[in-house]
Amino acid sequence: MNAVPERTPVAVHEGVLELERGLSLHFGGRLASVRVAWRLVGDPDAPVIAALGGISAGRSVIEAGGEKGWWSDIVGPGKALDSSRYRILGIDFLGGSGGTTGPKAGQNDFPSIASQDQAEILRQVVAHLRLPPLEAIVGASYGGMVALAFAERWPELVKRIIVISAAHRPHPMATAWRSVQRAVVRFAAQSGQGSEGLRLARALAMATYRSPAEFEQRFAGPATHVDGRFQFPVESYLLSRGDAYAAAYIPEAFVCLSESIDLHQVDPAKVRVPTWLVAVVEDQLVPLSDMRALMHSLGGPAHLAELSSLYGHDAFLKETQALRDVFTRALSPAGDVK
């Protein structure tokens, strides 16, 4: 019997950057002291790509040390974004539930956070690690907003950005859905039920992340009688997702970062680095029309890939082959050409 070759351990470098002088915020105010949790995985001689995801994502991007990353299905050795060719940098978002400074449970006075503030803490991590200009920032959902904000302010620090399902501003319909989610959490928190409010808000959010076609395929079955009432298959799924989320995240952090999405604004004309955009036709949160408008407004070379996916906004977590094609083209020597 042939022995299975052992996988070479992946080099993992991580830490917490203390911003002892604090941080001035985009919308005003200042945090007196800030901690930024970061992780850098891969060959120390390889170029660096920062990978940023949705508001639930953090510094653990790929599988390392037995820990599964939030993007492990897409990023890793030989995967769609090949970490054997690049070092992968991840951060925990400011205002979130991770190791970076954010609100404590029950705290209602944490300041509003902008995508520009996330870009600033990423810049400070890059400077702290004395990294050369990033080969790319690959940002999906909220992370795509941060990538745009970074490129707008510091084009000399990144060679290109790849933006998946994120535009220069939020769509009002998406803001409508998120506003109701935040209201649910705040209302529940007033009676000490913040976790229950987060459970319901996340359940509602999941209905916007996926496509109607997927739900029709998966949840068209009949209702069942549970505890004296009817329960629908899609209801069971959404609430189970809400339960899992509420067990892992802080309600006030969800409100902070959800609001940050809706406050996001950049001037596309000031984004002059080569930019690859990925739009999903079935995305309910970031319409194809917004992604097309962004492409035509960018101040530098731009390319738009339009994908079709049952997974809607969540396609960036699922569409391995389509993203592999995009990453291969965007990161090739010719990837900067319009």
Q: What digits encode the pLDDT tens for the residues 82-120? A: 999 999 999 999 999 999 999 999 999 999 999 999 999
Rounded to a whole number of angstroms, the CA Rg of the chain reads 20
Tokens 């539930």, residue?
97
Q: Is the pLDDT of residue 53 over 90?
A: yes
* 112-123 CB burial, b ≥16 within 10 A, e <16: ebbbbbbbbbbb
The shares of helix, strand and coil residues in the chain, as percent rounded to the nearest 5, are 40, 20, 40
Residue showing tokens 């007033």: 190
Task: Give the span between the Cα atoms of 189 and 193, in whole angstroms.
Answer: 5
State the average pLDDT over residues 132-157.
Answer: 98
Average pLDDT over residues 42-65: 94
Is 141 known to be catalytic?
yes
Cα 338 to Cα 329: distance, rounded to the nearest angstrom? 12
pLDDT average, residue stretch 150-175: 98
Q: Is 140 exposed, middle or buried (0-12, 13-18, 19+ CB in 10 A)?
A: buried
| % of the chain exceeding 90 in pLDDT | 91
What pLDDT sits at residue 333? 79
DSSP letter for 312, please: G
231: left (phi over 0), alpha (psi -120 to 50) or beta: beta
Q: What is the pLDDT of residues 269-281, one digit of tens each?
A: 999 999 999 999 9
Compute the distance between CA of residue 320 and CA of residue 325 in angstroms, rounded to an integer: 9
Q: What is the pLDDT of residues 236-252, one digit of tens each?
A: 999 999 999 999 999 99
Q: DSSP letter at 25?
A: -
Mean pLDDT computed over 3-12: 59
Tell me whether residue 313 is one of the annotated catalytic residues. yes
pTM for the whole structure: 0.94
pLDDT band at 334 (very low <50, low <70, confident <90, very high): low
Which of these is catalytic: 92, 283, 290, 314? 283
Predicted confidence band of residue 7 (pLDDT cuts 50, 70, 90): low
Q: Give Dmax over CA atoms of the chain in angstroms.
A: 65
Mean pLDDT of 278-285: 98
29-48 burial, b for 16+ CB within 10 Å, e for fewer?
Answer: eebeebbbbbbbbbeeeebb
d(CA 92, CA 125): 11
What whole-number distance in Å separates Cα of residue 142 and Cα of residue 134?
19
In contact, 157 and 127? CB cutoff 8 Å: no
**pLDDT grade for 4, boundaries at 50, 70 and 90:** very low
In this prediction, residues 3-27 reach a mean pLDDT of 81
pLDDT on residue 162: 98
CB-based contacts of 242: which residues, under 8 Å, 6+ apart?
A: 198, 199, 200, 201, 202, 203, 206
DSSP secondary structure letter of residue 8? P
| DSSP H or E run through 134 | none
Q: How far is residue 188 from each of residues 172, 196, 200, 272, measured CA to CA in Å? A: 24, 7, 10, 44
Quick check: is 264 catalytic? no
> Helices 172-190 and 194-209, interaxial angle, to 10°?
160
Nearest to 69 by CA among 89, 85, 99, 43: 89
Average pLDDT score, the chain: 94
